[in-house]
Amino acid sequence: MTDDPSRRKVLRNSGVLAGAALITGLPGGRAAQAAPRADEPPPVAEPPAGRLLGSEEGGLCVFKGVPYAAPPTGALRWRPAQPHPGWQGTRDATAFGPSAPQPYREGGDQVLGTHGSPPFDEDCLTLNVWTPAADGAKRPVMVWIHGGGFISGSGSVPGYSGETFARDGDLVVVTVNYRLGPLGYLYFGEDGAGGNFWLTDQLAALRWVRDNIAAFGGDPDDITLAGQSGGAFSVAALAGARPKGRPLFRRAILQSPPLGLQIPTRAESLRRTATYMDILGVGNVTELRAVPWPRLIAATYEMFGRTGRWGYWSTPFLPVLDGVTLDRDPADLLLSGAGADIEVLIGWTREEANFAFALSGPYAAATKDQVLSRVRDTFGNRADEAYTAYEEARPGARPVDVLMDLITDDLFRMPALALAERRAARGRPVWAYQFNLPTPAHGGQLGAAHCLELPFVFDNFDKWSQAPFLAGLAPRVRDGLAGTMHAAWISFIRTGDPNHHPMPRWDRYDQDSRTTMALDSVTTAVDDLAGYWRRLHRQAAP
């Protein structure tokens, strides 16, 4: 667990014990839900896209596997998302659609478990809706974009169920599938065409929500777009979209956005595509379109080996600055134009990089010289000073601990803070948090790792039984912090402000106090929580 110097400061606000936190004062609270009548017919929604038959689940109306774009198959593989042709009569929406093709291993990994589960299919552009009622109530809407390192994940993962948010917050919740890995992120530069097919999918889904969500009891003018990791990166990338002069969403929640990624240029992306085609033994995109998708996904494993760099989070497929779908760093899109007026909640976990590196045998054996070489990439000739600072901040630190804290700062914390700083300087609304509660799983090696805040945000630990990183958490502390966070997210979605009783006052991040909410067994608001590290990185060599 990192002993961050800023954590030893006098806290400005009194803490609230996580075990004492409750969801209070919110509409649609769980205790207020009446049991559904057994003789009620299944719910039906009649959006402009077409009539849908849903199901009743726990007192909510749920519509699953709803297509929002044409299947990206055949000639539409590696093409921007196209409108769905629609359907006649009533479409059954009682089962999830297939997840996007992705690497899969039975049983998952030893940290998160599964990221996305079968069935998989290229015909995957569907979304799911949870609503208290398919009526005209105009409820606030939350659209969730899953993460997964740009290669995995699904809107049907049990942990992303919209049930708790819809019930506890009287919200309409939408989860989305979009193209992943080679099918979503390869770039070909054909005749000046763009790439980022994943982004065109998400834009199509947002347009669908804007045009159809009223039929599910949602307000198309009160949409919060939320996501974690690669999904949070997506939220930022979508901030600049303003089709027909109307913003697609009003608020943004960015959980652990990897804004420190160096997004490839067109030329760099073409070289990465060439590497991928070499693995498959094809010479052009026409030949590649004839390759069955299971072979495309299988080639991902070798891409890890060919594109990975020691000391960096491995990402074999990346977005591209293609000048068509994405022409700026996504963080910049939240500073001007359509993104400037979006209300932003942004945060990170204290030991993000432990997710990928803490349980790695090869990295556990890293030497100081190896890590110093990586530190020089960030700090140049100040690498020795920076190494010492990180080493002293974590008593008994091994070289790998220094490396993990550096990667956490490089990829997540410092870029998120920089965005908060820049928005604050422009007087734009932004709230910041740091998730600090460590997990005892794997002997405590993971700390407060990447993804650990997810079940707390959704407050649905029963849906995360497959996640090894939750083992050993004390139920009272776990459930209390989840209640606090879940209520704060609901408050932000409903009002644009995360404050709620009995949480300590959570002020906007500004240039005077730099308030950051420290989410832990005791939740507290801290002034300039990461100030020491922010100043250290500000002086880093370019």
Q: Which of 99, 229, 234, 269 is catalytic?
A: 229
The pLDDT, as a whole number, for residue 349 is 98
**Least confident window among 25-39, 229-243, 314-328, 511-525:** 25-39
Whether 319 shows a pLDDT value over 70: the answer reads: yes
pLDDT given for residue 117 in this prediction: 87
CATH of residue 311's domain is 3.40.50.1820
Residues 360-369 have pLDDT tens digits of 999 999 999 9
Closest CA to 21 of 526, 542, 521: 521
Query: Which residue matches tokens 């094809």?
Result: 282
Does residue 118 form part of some domain?
no
Smallest CA-to-CA distance from 301 within 151, 188, 157 is with: 151
The rounded distance, in Å, linking the Cα atoms of 460 and 58 is 14
Q: Is the pLDDT of residue 464 over 50?
A: yes
Q: Are 169 and 493 in contact (CB under 8 A)?
A: yes
* 541 has a pLDDT exceeding 80: no
Q: Determine the structural domain holding residue 490 and report its residue range.
A: 5-22+46-71+78-108+146-538
| Digit-coded pLDDT (tens) for 506-535 | 999 999 999 999 999 999 999 999 999 999
Q: Please report the pLDDT score of residue 191 as a whole number.
A: 67
HSE value, Cβ hemisphere, 13 Å, CA-based, for 319: 26
- 448 φ, ψ (degrees, to nearest 5): -95, 80
φ and ψ of 520, to 5 deg:
-155, -170
For 276-305, what is the mean pLDDT? 96
**Which of 363-398 are b and which e, b meaning 16 or more Cβ less than 10 Å from the residue's Cβ?**
beebeeebbbebbbebbeebbeebbebbbebbeebb
Angle of CA points 381, 383, 385, to nearest 5°: 105
Residue 1: predicted pLDDT: 43
pLDDT at 247: 78
Q: Is residue 17 one of the residues assigned to a domain?
A: yes
**Is 229 considered catalytic here?**
yes
Q: What percent of the chain is modeled with pLDDT above 90?
A: 85
121 in any annotated domain:
no
Q: Which residues of 254-285 are buried (b: 16+ CB within 10 A; e: fewer)?
A: bbbbbbbbebbebeebbebbeebbebbeeeee
Residues 6+ apart with CB under 8 A from 332: none
- Confirm whether 153 is domain-assigned: yes
Task: Give the model confidence (pLDDT) of 99-129 as tens digits.
Answer: 999 999 887 889 998 888 899 999 999 999 9
Q: pLDDT tens-digit profile of 123-179?
A: 999 999 999 999 999 999 999 999 999 999 999 999 999 999 999 999 999 999 999
pLDDT given for residue 201 in this prediction: 98
Please give the structure tokens belonging to residue 96.
């999830």
> Is residue 375 in a domain?
yes
Residue 494 located in a structural domain: yes
53, part of any domain: yes
Q: At residue 449, does pLDDT exceed 80?
A: yes
Question: Which two structure tokens, joined as six digits, stand for 352?
Answer: 């993000």
Mean pLDDT of the chain: 92
Residue of 343, 351, 352, 391 marked catalytic: 352
- Give the active site residue among 115, 146, 450, 500: 450
Q: How many domains does the chain have?
A: 1
Confidence tier at 15 by pLDDT (50, 70, 90): very low
Q: What pLDDT was estimated at residue 244?
A: 65
Tell me if residue 385 is catalytic: no
Range 455-479 average pLDDT: 96
Please report whether residue 41 resides in a domain: no
Three-state secondary structure call for residue 515: strand
pLDDT recorded at residue 3: 42
260 has pLDDT over 90: yes
343 is catalytic: no
Please, which pLDDT band fits residue 12 given cuts at 50, 70 and 90? very low
